[in-house]
Structure 1
Amino acid sequence: MDERDWLFLQTLYEEKNITNAARTLYISQPALTNRLKQIEKEFGVQIVNRGRRGVQFTPQGEYLAKCAHETIHRMQQIKENVLNMENKIAGTLRLGVSTFFTDYKLPGLLKLFKEEYPDIEFKVTTDWSSQIAHLIHNQDVHVGLVKGDYKWKDQKRLLFDESICIASKEKIDLSDLPDLPRIDYRTDQNLKMIVDNWWAENYTKPPLVSIDVDKAGTCKNMVANGLGYAILPSMILDDLEDLHKTKLKTSEGELIIRKSWMFFHEESLQLNIVRAFVEFIERIDLEAIH
């Protein structure tokens, strides 16, 4: 078993489908099937059962898949520690980044960091903030950039605050909101809960959702074309000056704020690449990056 074999097992376990796993690994399906047979022969056990609904891992296969994750993680640590011994800021920085942050801040951020540290490469995983919090907890990434408040007992840094806004092409009376067409979009549970709680405090009838889209960026463009209003984080709206924006407030009149955080483990600061990234984030103005 070499490192690539462990990666084959881990990917197949995640996908539960040989065709999808082969596509993810950029190899042919026959090549993956053949390698799986070789691994089964090496261990003398059946790893998966194949059926119309994909593959099901046997108990032995489940165990090996768990070992695959641990082995790959350990190999990453070994490579990082070896590079670290040279006191060079080089290697691959593994980042977990929330979807919103990826769309609106990450490209400019990585460009600036790469200019300072040209020998660093990136492996970036993007997902909802709740999933990124899970990845950093399991040390699958070095640093997590999340939006919203999550329980985290290790090191964290506040990146910036942003308000939540009602955005519309024309000025609207908030008392009319339940009867006006709203454009909704898929977002993480944290933001959805904030918006839903605010709505429940202010209205007795549900919103009139006329358009439902997959991304906040698409939603913003719909609003800009006068197709309805939307409730969006202010960062997404910064590039549109001609929209009417009303910041959400609590019943006590306080602004409803959403925080963005950087999460990392204290021990990971022993790696030059992680320490360099954390120090870089601490000294730049993130709000100025577009």
Structure 2
Amino acid sequence: MTRLGRHGLDHVFLAVRTDLLEVVQSWTDRTGPDDAGAAGVVELVDPTEERAGRVFAAVGVPERVAALLSTVTPGDSVHGVAVTRGTGTLAGDTLSGWGLMPGATWDRMATESAPQVPDAGPAVVELLDLGRDTDEIAALLAETNPGTLQGVRSRRGQRARWYGVRVPREDREHGPGALVAVGSAMPVAGGAVHLGSIGTLPAFRGRGYGGALTARMTADGIAECGLVTLGLYDDNVAARRVYERLGFVLAHQVETWHRG
């Protein structure tokens, strides 16, 4: 993938993180345009103060990220860090010195190909209206994806496009027309669309709604920018199967550290 070949501070996944967070400082060990293993580190703060504290994001091969982190002096207390997986075993003293402990492991995936949008049966994927559907989206996410950082009422969420799947009109058992699955698509710096906040109500899983929803968001994102990214916990096997069927490939393995 052409744009995933960027490295150092130009890496697309740093662009995703810095889209709405303010860059306080940045560091890179890049030696030139052909330095494919270059590390890049950015220190970020939320200008809306929805999230307190500084956060760091880093890309590059673990050895170089660890070495670069050892030169960094945070400007304030660090709330969390997301680094290339494997960095923590090399930079554990640095990160624990910042008051952090190991957290989750994530995979970032990407595609430059528009998938065929599968038939979800009588259910239809639609573009939602924040003026009308915000409360319903928020209620669904509270049940299916409460840990999302891109809630519909957040500053980032208000800039995203939201898509949903509604109960078919003939399904009177569950309330015809109610939302049963949602997801968001956010254009970000670096010329990509990032998908997030994807969730399906438990009673409606296994019907292909999540796949149809993600396919529609991906196809629209490819038409707009040519590159679509998303993230998932590395042990989410079911979601990975769906994303791989839609053409997504593994692009970056991540580990997070957080304040204990």
Query: What's the TM-score bracket when you normalise by the shorter of the two chains?
Result: under 0.3
TM-score by length of 2: 0.22
More helix by share: 1
More strand by share: 2
